[in-house]
Amino acid sequence: MTTSSDRRVVADARRIVVKVGSSSISGDNAWQIAPLVLALAQAHRRGVQIVLVSSGAIATGMPFLQLESRPNDLATQQAAAAVGQSVLVHRYQAALDPYAIVAAQVLLTAGDIENPTHRGNAQRAMERLLQLRILPIVNENDTVATQEIRFGDNDRLAALVARLIGADALILLSDVDALYTKPPQLPGAERIPHVALGDRLAGVEIAATSVNGVGTGGAQTKVSAARYAAEAGSAVIITSTTLVADALSGAPVGTFFEPARN
C-alpha cells in the first residue's frame, strides 16, 4: 500500500523526468499540451529541474502528409517524423511562452545512450541545459533510428534518460490512469497503487501493446521501464496525462514504484 511518505519522494524531488505518449498529445488530444505544460511550469517555478520525454512526432506529422493511419513503411514514418517533430516542439514552445520557459529539442536514440562518447555528450548537454533553467524536450531521432521506429518506445528512452541524469523521479504518462491487475476495461480489474522494489507482479495480466492506433508502447513497456528506473534509484509513477499535476504534487494517483535506496 502506498503511504504519504512514498509520495513525498516525488513531491520533494529536485529533478524529474516526465514522459508523455503520442495518443495523449496528438490528434484530438492535442489540447492536452496546454494543461501538461501548466503542470510542468508549476513544478519548474518551485525550482524543480524538468526533462520532458515526448512521443508524438510521427502522429503529429501524419495530418500534414494527409495520412489517416500510422504508416507502415520506414520512409513514410521518417517523413512524418521529420515534419511532426518541428510542429510538436513549436506547439510546446508556444504553450511554454506564457511562463517564460525556453524549450530545447534533444533528439536521441537508444544507441546514443549505449555509446560512451555519445552518452557523455548527451549527459553534459542536458546537465548544462538544466543549470540554465531550460526545459529539454527529448524524443527518439526517428528520422535515423530505424530500429527504434520499428521496435523502440519512449518509455524505455525515458528510463534511460532518468538514469543518465540521475533523476529523483520518473513519471510515465498515457491515457490510462494507473497499472491494473488486468486490462482496465475488463470486469474485475483493480488499480495497483504500489509496487515494491523487486515485486514481479505475479498474477497480474499486463497488456503487451498499446490499444490506440498511434502509440507503440503498452503497459508492459511501462512496467519494464519503471523497474529499470526504480532499480537505478528513481521513484516512478505510472498514471494518465490528465493527472500529471497531481502526480507531481505527490497526490496518491496512479501506480507508485518504490525506488532502490542508492
- Binding-site residues, in ranges, read 19, 55, 142, 154, 174-175
User: Which residue spans within the chain are E strands per DSSP?
Assistant: 15-20, 49-54, 103-108, 135-140, 169-174, 194-195, 235-240, 255-257
* Bridge partners, 170 (sequence order): 17, 236
Burial class (CB in 10 A: 0-12, 13-18, 19+), 211: middle
Q: How far apart are CA 209 and CA 224, in angstroms?
A: 13
Return the residue matching grid coordinates 530505424: 146
Residue positions in the annotated binding site for substrate?
55, 142, 154
Q: Give the residue numbers of the binding site for ATP.
A: 19, 174-175
Count how many residues are written for the chain: 262
Report which DSSP code applies to 133.
Answer: T
Angle ∠(58,54,195) on CA atoms, nearest 5? 125
Helix (H) or strand (E) holding 129: helix 116-131
Closest CA to 141 of 90, 62, 82, 93: 82
